[in-house]
Each structure stands twice: as C-alpha cells, then as structure tokens.
Structure 1
Amino acid sequence: MRPIDGVITLPPIDPNRVLQPHQNALILTLGINDFDVRQILVDPGSSADLLQMFTFKQMGFPSSTLENPRRILSGFNRASTTSLGDVMLPVQAGPIILNVQFFMVEDLSSFNAIMGRTWLHGMKVIPSTYHQMVSYLTEDGQINLYGS
C-alpha cells in the first residue's frame, strides 16, 4: 500500500484528546524495523531523519552496520554535530511502510527519533500540531495517526 495524492480534511478538535490552549510538539509512536519506537518528534523544519544511537542499539544493531560515518549535520541555529553514520530502516505508519535513511546521532534530547521533511514528503503526510496528528491518504481512504 502506498500513500496517494488527494484532498485531506482535518477533523474537529476532540476535546478529550487535545486540551486547549496548547503549544505541544507533535510526538508519535511509529514502527521502526518491527519495533514500536515512542517519543518520535515530527519536525517539518528538519531536512534529515535522525535516530538516537541508544535506540538503534536497543533494536539489536551493532555500530558496525552503519555506513558513511562522520557527516556534519547543521542545525537551524548554525550549531553542528557529527553523525555516527547512517542506515536505511523500514518505518511503518498505519498500513504504510516506507524505507527511511536515518542519520545516527548521540543525543536527541528526550527524543528517540526525529522525522523530518524527507519522511513527511515520502509519506505525503500533513502534520498538524493543532490537532496533534498526522494525516495521509491511501487507496482505502484517509488515515489519521494521533500524537502520544
């Protein structure tokens, strides 16, 4: 199954899910390489998809499986960090599985991963911090994944 193009409508706010007013970041749980990974920040401002090295090791991967070590990643504030390498992993969001190239980093604050524009565009996802969800279309209809 693949995401498709079309019209996405966002539902009214569910007062039981989202307390008003709020300024919460959009945090999801997604399947990465058959593991449920929690505390994933959806960041449309990031041009890269990042994975915490600790999370990668918890999945059972050794550091030796990483490719292209020591890439310089620059942040919006011009701060830079050096990646430990990159790896391609399948990410499942609902019924859709998309292979994602993750850059491995040592410290993502309290997040296990950051899904940036690469994943958002590949999935054709519309993120909404207001609704605390991402929405996308499949041949079977619209899928809404709610933040945690």
Structure 2
Amino acid sequence: MGFEPSSLEKPGRTLSGFNGSSTTSLGDVILPVQVGPVILNVLFSVVEDLSPFNAILGRTWLHGMKVIPSTYDQRVSFITQDGQINLYGSQLAAQQCYQIAHEAGPSADREHSPKEASASDQ
C-alpha cells in the first residue's frame, strides 16, 4: 500500500469488532481514497486479523463524502459536478476474499506486514 509498518502512528489501540470480539491495532495511517472524481484522505486503523473486509469506511468518510446510504439497496450515493455516483456493496466478493485469505493460512509475509485495514470512526 506504499507505507512502512514503522510509519504507523498510535499503535496498540483496542478495536471492537462487529461480532463483539476485540483486536489490537498495529497503528493508524492516513491514505487517500478516490471514488470517481473525489479524493478524500481517510484515517485507517491497521489490524492483522483475518477479515471479510479490505477496509471499512465509517462515519467520517460517509460524512466527508456527503453520501446517502441505502441499506436496502446495499449502496451509497453521492453527487459530484458530473452527476450522481452509486457505489454498490458485494457480499459475494467479500465472501470470496475472506475464503481465499482463510485458505491461504498464515504466511511469513503476513507475519511481517499489515494485512487488513479498517476505518476509524472518530
């Protein structure tokens, strides 16, 4: 992702998962997230746990992008000068990514580099 693990800030924060479990972050990093023509810098807490998500974009990103979420349609929409952009979630893609990571098991690469990231809701 273009950063060194030593460049992570505020390591050791305890994060709670959706299922009630907790993990300790490797640290925080600010990365640019581009959606259509819009680029927004987002603070991510990096963790080394297996997850069905590559990243979780939380309230800070949603508010910064001024999105309109739809849980029914599994999408978020926002307006740009070029018109409306719709981003759709894919449970199938998330399940496939999780399965591939799970089957790969632990590796030397995972032991030395951050694998998953989740957005911080501040």
Shorter-chain TM range is 0.5 to 0.7
Q: Does 1:104 align with 2:46?
A: yes
Structure-1 residue corresponding to 2:83: 141
**Is 2:58 the partner of 1:90?**
no
Indicate if the aligned counterparts of 1:68 and 1:86 stay in contact, CA closer than 8 A: yes
Deviation at 1:75, TM superposition (A): 3.9
Query: Is the partner of 1:122 in helix, strand or coil?
Result: helix
**Residue 128 of structure 1, CA deviation:** 1.9
**1:96 and 1:88 mapped to 2: Cα distance?**
16
Figure out how many residues of one structure are paired with residues of the other and give that number. 90
CA contact (8 A) 1:94 1:145 kept: no
> Does the residue aligned with 1:119 lie in a helix, a strand or coil?
helix
* Higher relative contact order (CA closer than 8 Å, sequence separation 6+): 1
Change (3 A) 1:122 1:108: farther
Secondary structure of 2:15 counterpart: strand
Relative to its length, the structure with more helix (as a share) is 2
| 8 A contact 1:86–1:101 mirrored in 2 | yes
Deviations 1:83-120 (A, max 9, x none): 11000000011111000000001115222111111111
CA RMSD of aligned residues (A): 1.9
Higher strand share: 1
Q: Percent identity?
A: 77
Match of 2:42, SS? Answer: strand
Structure 1 residue 60: Cα displacement? 4.0
Give unpaired runs (5+ residues) of structure 1: 1-58
Structure 1 distance, partners of 2:3, 2:36, is 24
2: CA distance, partners of 1:138 / 1:64: 36
1:124 to 58, 66, 73: 66
Q: Work out the CA distance in 2 between the residues paired with 1:99 and 1:144.
A: 20
Contact 1:70 1:84 in 2 (8 A): yes
Alignment of 1:14-33 (within 5 A): none
Question: Partners of 1:129 and 1:135 in 2: how far apart?
Answer: 11
Distance in 1, matches of 2:76 and 2:20, equals: 28
